[in-house]
Amino acid sequence: MAVLLNRLSHRRLPALAAAFRQHGSLTKDLIENMDKKETWDRFYRENNAVNHFKNFEWFFGFEGVRDVILPVLRAQARHSAPLRVLDMGCGTSALGSGLCAHSQQPLHVTCADISPVALHLLREQAKNKPVQPKNPGSTLAFVELDCCDLRAWFEPESLDLIVDKGTTDALLRSREGPAKAGRVLRQCLAVLRPSGCLLQFSDEDPDARLVWLESESGGLGAGAAGVRVQEVGTLRGVCYFCYLITPPSPAAAQPPPPGELF
């Protein structure tokens, strides 16, 4: 397991550093301490001190993943109550507002982050440029929380969808973050409805990420979390994947055919 964590922690570091090259002294700090609130407070404060506010997108923005997320929401649609969606580790991404603006299904979207600086920027943007939801029943909220403690904020089996666009990657690549990443995964599975799912967007190859998911979620077979993976696309020479993780199903008697559950 130590070998696996080392591989996850250091893979793609050149691409990661390039993404932050315009921030100079922050590059090393970000790579080593992406699990720390202070790092991100500093990043968002300095990133918006000189320039006008602009959404910072880890990997890609809403348009890059809408064809993955919206079908998942349509498949989970209920007749009356809005679907409860968590954008976990939102930063200043426009993903949450994009979901509200484009989903035909009513949603209650919670954009959550550990950085109050990032959330202040998002709230100000929402105030200055209000989101026009496609469904009038949709709502958007901003909450400061630590994703390691989701159960302190959400009831068990209360969320329909959790979107993790780079949060787990940031933890796995931090000096002290890998243990936190496993805790976050287990917390996600605890607060998802049995019909819900976690979408993990990552540039981590399946040969590494699937082994980690198996280890941290409790193994494979009946009663284990289910995982599917699909390729999202290539951006700036890097291939990205979406890992769709569903909560354990104790009633599952037989595992799906090979290639369907990893």
DSSP run (H or E) holding 188: helix 178-191
Domains, the chain, in order of start with CATH, read 2-246 (3.40.50.150)
In this prediction, residues 185-196 reach a mean pLDDT of 95
Q: Find the Cα–Cα–Cα–Cα dihedral 91, 56, 185, 3, rounded to 10°.
A: -130
Q: Which SS3 state, helix, strand or coil, does residue 119 take?
A: helix
Give residue-wise pLDDT tens across range 10-45: 444 444 544 555 544 456 767 788 888 888 898 888
User: Which region among 44-48, 194-198, 219-223 has the lowest average model confidence (pLDDT)?
Assistant: 219-223
User: Which region among 31-40, 48-57, 187-196, 218-227 has the lowest average model confidence (pLDDT)?
Assistant: 218-227
Contacts of 207 by beta carbon, 8 Å cutoff, 6+ apart: none
Question: What is the chain's mean pLDDT, rounded?
Answer: 83
Are the CB atoms for 12 and 238 separated by under 8 Å? Answer: yes
Task: Enter the pTM of the model.
Answer: 0.84
